Amino acid sequence: MKNTDGSALVIVIVFMSLLSLFCITFWQSSSLFHDISLQCLAYEQKSRAAQGGLNYAIALCRKNFDAIIKICKETGQAYQIETEPWQIAKNIVYRCNVTVTSIGDALCMTSRLFDDDKKNVFSVSCHLFKNQNNFFIRRWSIDE
């Protein structure tokens, strides 16, 4: 053929169609991976913020371990610790509420992360044990 029948035009159109199809497929998969990475980032931010609240409560409870256990056992109520608001990103502000209860000779702590609408977005918990002058953390769990 001498390109007089329009075969070159057909080849170009088929090639451009295949190239367009490849680009659309690549674009969709890259946008999916981008969405997944954003969701992973949001989960990590919530997890770290809730763990930060729990670590803050652990530090406070280590200093006053015996007094907090005594208060929890005498009153039968949970000890509440609330943190200041944390700004994670531009428009993302969280507040952490830690509930401390006594279970035998251990403290059970649950850190709940709340957003501006007072909606619980993430929760972690652990048990704090004291053995003479050493402290042990057990049963660290994510409560979703």
pLDDT of residue 50: 87
Q: Letter for the amino acid at 53?
A: G
What single-letter DSSP state applies at residue 116? T
Q: Letter for the amino acid at 138?
A: R
pLDDT in tens, 39-60: 998 888 888 888 888 888 888 8
Average pLDDT of span 98-122: 87
Domain assignments of the chain as residue spans, ordered by start: 7-142
pLDDT in tens, 79-109: 888 888 888 777 888 888 999 988 888 899 9
pTM listed for this prediction: 0.71
List the one residue out of 79, 102, 86 whose CA is nearest residue 51. 86
List the one residue out of 92, 139, 90, 99 whose CA is nearest residue 115. 92
Other beta carbons within 10 Å of 91: 7
Q: Is the Cβ–Cβ distance between 61 and 99 less than 8 Å?
A: no
pLDDT of residue 124: 92
List the one residue out of 85, 95, 101, 100 whose CA is nearest residue 121. 95
